[in-house]
Amino acid sequence: MTNFKSNYFTYKDNNLYCEKVSLLKLSEEFATPLFVYSKNFFIDRYKELNEAFSSVNHKIYFASKSNFNLSVIKTFYELGSGVDVNSAGEFYRALKAGVNPKDMLLTGVGKTDEEIRLGLEKGVMVIKAESLEEVYVINNIATELGVTAPVAIRVNPDVDAETHPYISTGLAENKFGIDSVYAYDMFVECSKLSNIELTGIDMHIGSQITKLEPFVEAVIKMAELYKKIQSAGIKLKHFDIGGGIGVLYNNESTFTPKEFSEKLTPIFMQLDAKILFEPGRFLTANGGVLLTDVLYTKTNSLGKNFVVVNSAMTELLRPSLYKSYHHIQPITKIDNENFKADVVGPVCETGDYIAKEREITMVSRGDKLAIMSAGAYGMVMSSNYNGRRRPAEILVDGSEYKVIRNRETFEHLVFDEEKHL
């Protein structure tokens, strides 16, 4: 089993550390499953992207859907980031983290009237609309409230992001945004509405994009549309390219923020617009791990090996949902041979696995493992299926660490049900 390459998760004296804190110590103090995040990874990654585009008038909006822990949101907000919220729940979380609504983008393909009203009443920076009917609804609600709604329209550029089909969002067949064929006419139509101020054009072509070409193609296409809209007398202010920057999970060939900037900055310079980014995974994925204990090992009659751990699809859904890869390595180095095994959880589903046919170090009951790249779309996609309690989350900062969410109790599982018996 090779080790995941990271400057933030490294072995010292055969034990895996997050920054300067032993993961063995954390697993013993707080038990497993346990999410552990590196605060300095978050900070460094944000600064790397921000500085890459220093020559451009821009702002980063952290996509809180990737990791909505209040302390994580607060970390990025204190660095100067805005926050992209996709629901009333994420809006509420951002408020609790101290985020000013003027630093929020309200996004989502299916906003309720209540969510639109909330955004307008609280004064979000912009509401990103994804259909003509939605803009009409926003206009009606804004009229009722006696306000002008700042609206950006998400345009689907029909570009193949060459990523997993479940996280591709920029093709004409996807549910997101307005088809680019209709976009210009829609901007003209919406500019006539009484309580709408069109502020920008937005795109988001997908997640975990590891090639620059789809971004370049989409930005060029949207830049031409932006110029055409401006020439029609509709004065837009921002150009939002969304998120989706790919990260290293296994052996992907990814691009750096510097390479990203070198390709896109010349296009941005042609636009009289503030450039907005909405990264989530890029800022958090490789800043987190999920710690787990080996419960049992077994081999079936076909010679297939199973490693049963106490983490499941209820903590990390991505492998079951996307067949995605997460590197697995021991918290304490084990001097054993490698073997091929399925690493599976305790949940009553055949699809409950962390890895299939994975070559790993031969482990035994009681060994502890770190599931890498769990800082994005881990805890946010967790569930209480099978009556499982969501794990604790720990934030490490150098040699210091703190609990940023306690493990759920059994009382959490029944919430207010008992009073209805």
Catalytic residues: 348
- Residue 180: CB atoms within 10 Å: 20
* Rounded Cα distance, 325 and 323, in Å: 7
Contact 371, 345 (CB under 8 A): no
- Here the tokens at position 262 are 């070198």
Contact 226, 271 (CB under 8 A): yes
Number of helices (H) and strands (E) in the chain: give both, helices first. Answer: 12, 21
| Cross-strand bridge partners of residue 34 | 291, 392
286 backbone φψ class: left, alpha, beta (φ>0; ψ -120 to 50) = alpha
Contact 37, 394 (CB under 8 A): yes
Helix residue ranges, H only, 199-256: 212-231
3-class secondary-structure state, position 404: strand
Residue with tokens 């923020």: 257
* Rounded Cα distance, 295 and 308, in Å: 6
DSSP 8-state code for residue 87: S
Helix axes of 257-268 and 39-52: crossing angle, nearest 10 degrees: 30
Contact 363, 328 (CB under 8 A): no
Between the alpha carbon of residue 197 and those of residues 122, 157, 161, 224, 360, the distances in Å are: 17, 22, 30, 21, 56
- Here the tokens at position 35 are 């999410």
